[in-house]
Copies of this chain bind each other. A is one copy, B any other.
Amino acid sequence: MAKIVDSGHSMDKSITLPPDEIFRNLENAKRFAIDIGGSLTKLAYYSTVQHKVAKVRSFDHTAKETEGDPLYEISMQEEMSARLHFIKFENAYIETCLDFIKDHLVNTDTKVIKATGGGAHKFKDLIEKKLKLRVDKEDEMTCLIKGCNFVLRNITHEAFVYVKHADSEFRFQNTHPDIFPYLLINIGSGVSIFKVESEDTFERVGGSSIGGGTFWGLGALLTKTKRFDELLQLASKGQHTNVDMLVKDIYGGSYGSLGLTGDLIASSFGKSATPDKEFSKEDMAKSLLHMISNDIGQLACLYARLHNLTRVYFGGFFIRGHPVTMHTITYSINFFTKGEVQALFLRHEGYLGTIGAFLKGAEEDNPNQYSWGENYAGSSGLMSTSPDLNPMQRARSGTFDMLEMDRLERQLVNLPLLQDPSSYIPDTVDLSEDALAREYWLYCFEEALDGVVKRAVASQPDLPEAAERAEKFRHKYQHKLQTLRHQPL
């Protein structure tokens, strides 16, 4: 681990700043899973959180409401609930992170860590030595697909289409039980392309060496900027047309008979062979991002066409919710398939392998089924810390990235009265997109407010401040409805 010694100072600084915030609830951590790629490590652990829960007991509703009788009984209880933590950091920090985990891991009887990704082999000895856990290797492809299937099925608004100039850039897809078949393009340091036909039928159909590591490596050489996220920042400020040779630079316009517009890139970096000219870091980073995203987009569409697939999901930590990347990939796929193939991005693109490895362990330990729901407050993923934030601001620091999921104690199942549960799709309406439906429901909630307030006051006849608290609630609730009317997202 020469790298750690070389750059010890800057690394220590990065790691000492946010550890408590990043490695939350490590004291009670159980069941670890780790996914080590060519550049990044993704760690998952499961822990318990204590929190207060208000238990509500409702009295007989069928009886006529009588003034003075309590309608509800509310009691506060301390409860332990399970939470899943996902953390991403650069491989260069792996030794420091393992030390930190070891120092803070107190109440665990865990003996095993599930490990996947290429680095599971390479770092096996280091992990076993540091954490005193036995590394249990799981196949990378299997974990990746398992994780992808899991988020597609379980996490609300996981997948989305990116539309650059639309009112809302992100068109979220509802979870849907029929997720197969699909193509998964996993963009890590390199690119792997998987055809997924069912839970157990999947295959690596292709790959490319031009991936996230190429953006990072070539970007570092060209701009002397060593951080991936800084490179993305540079790219978002650049003009690729200063570096790329466009169709119009060669033809003086478009090449109409071939359907090539003048603004199309004819040759990436085609202008930079010019002697004695300087190119800005921003422009080079933008050109590089275009080059790589376009190439991946074209490969994705060719493999989709070759295998007759229309849904293409993008996983891996290259994309990071970066608008230029998503727009270029989407544009590229639309260009090459004339809209026949749909590019779908994932909010938790980088954690698919870790999630899969964790689930492998969880299934072995505890075959009971339960559901997981995202803890928005603890995740740093796209749109999750705050829906208004620019997706660029998703990470707490450039080095770390987090996702948290809470366990629901029962498995979510379809209503048993349904005639055909497998074909049942909940009749949900995306109120952020349907203005008419939104207005209708906000009106309903406003209309119901008076009744709710009256009922709340009535339920606590002995408390003199009940009326005052109910008014406060009414005000707050109304304000919230107003906010939703103006900012539906």
Complex CA gap A271/B271 in Å reads 26
Complex CA gap A217/B269 in Å reads 5
Q: Is A165 an interface residue (CB 8 A)?
A: no
Q: Which of A237-255 contact B (CB under 8 A)?
A: 243-245, 247, 249-253, 255
Nearest neighbor of A211 in chain B, beta-carbon distance: B267
Q: How far is the CB of A99 from chain B (nearest CB, A)?
A: 21
Query: Knowing A257-B139, A276-B6 touch, does A269 contact B299 (C-beta < 8 A)?
Result: no
Asked if B270 contacts A122 (CB within 8 A), the reply is no
Asked if A221 contacts B272 (CB within 8 A), the reply is yes
Q: Which residues of B contact A356 (CB under 8 A)?
A: none
Give the number of chain A interface residues (Cβ < 8 Å). Answer: 73
Q: Is A112 an interface residue (CB 8 A)?
A: no
Query: Knowing A217-B271, A221-B279, A270-B217 touch, does A38 contact B249 (C-beta < 8 A)?
Result: yes
Q: How far is the CB of A88 from chain B (nearest CB, A)?
A: 16
Asked if B336 contacts A266 (CB within 8 A), the reply is no
Q: Is A63 an interface residue (CB 8 A)?
A: no
Q: Is A291 an interface residue (CB 8 A)?
A: yes
Q: How far is the CB of A448 from chain B (nearest CB, A)?
A: 56
Interchain CB contact (< 8 A) of A250 among B122, B260, B284: B122
Complex CA gap A295/B302 in Å reads 13
- Comparing A202-210, A400-408, A426-434, the segment that makes contact with chain B is A202-210
Complex CA gap A137/B188 in Å reads 46
Q: Is A190 an interface residue (CB 8 A)?
A: yes
Q: Is A305 an interface residue (CB 8 A)?
A: yes
Asked if A221 contacts B284 (CB within 8 A), the reply is yes
Q: Which residues of B contact A139 (CB under 8 A)?
A: 257
Asked if B121 contacts A210 (CB within 8 A), the reply is no
Interchain CB contact (< 8 A) of A268 among B209, B219, B226, B298: B209
Asked if B190 contacts A267 (CB within 8 A), the reply is yes
Complex CA gap A414/B266 in Å reads 43
Asked if B217 contacts A251 (CB within 8 A), the reply is no
Q: How far is the CB of A436 from chain B (nearest CB, A)?
A: 43
Q: Is A37 an interface residue (CB 8 A)?
A: yes
Q: How far is the CB of A112 from chain B (nearest CB, A)?
A: 21
Complex CA gap A211/B269 in Å reads 9
Asked if B213 contacts A268 (CB within 8 A), the reply is yes
Interchain CB contact (< 8 A) of A38 among B188, B221, B250: B250
Query: Knowing A121-B252, A210-B291 touch, does A270 contact B190 (C-beta < 8 A)?
Result: yes
Complex CA gap A189/B251 in Å reads 13
Asked if A39 contacts B273 (CB within 8 A), the reply is yes
Complex CA gap A267/B306 in Å reads 24
Q: How far is the CB of A404 from chain B (nearest CB, A)?
A: 28
Asked if B298 contacts A208 (CB within 8 A), the reply is yes
Asked if A3 contacts B270 (CB within 8 A), the reply is no
Q: Which of A174-215 contact B (CB under 8 A)?
A: 188-190, 204, 206-214
Asked if A267 contacts B213 (CB within 8 A), the reply is yes
User: A residues bordering B, Cβ < 8 Å?
Assistant: 3, 6-7, 37-39, 117-119, 121-122, 139-141, 188-190, 204, 206-214, 216-222, 226, 228, 243-245, 247, 249-253, 255, 257-258, 260, 265-276, 279, 284, 291, 294-295, 298-299, 302-303, 305-306, 336
Pairs across A and B, CB under 8 Å, 29 listed: A38-B245, A38-B249, A39-B267, A39-B273, A118-B250, A189-B266, A189-B267, A189-B270, A190-B245, A207-B260, A208-B295, A210-B268, A213-B245, A213-B267, A213-B268, A213-B273, A216-B273, A217-B243, A217-B245, A217-B267, A217-B268, A217-B269, A217-B271, A217-B272, A219-B273, A220-B273, A226-B275, A299-B302, A305-B306
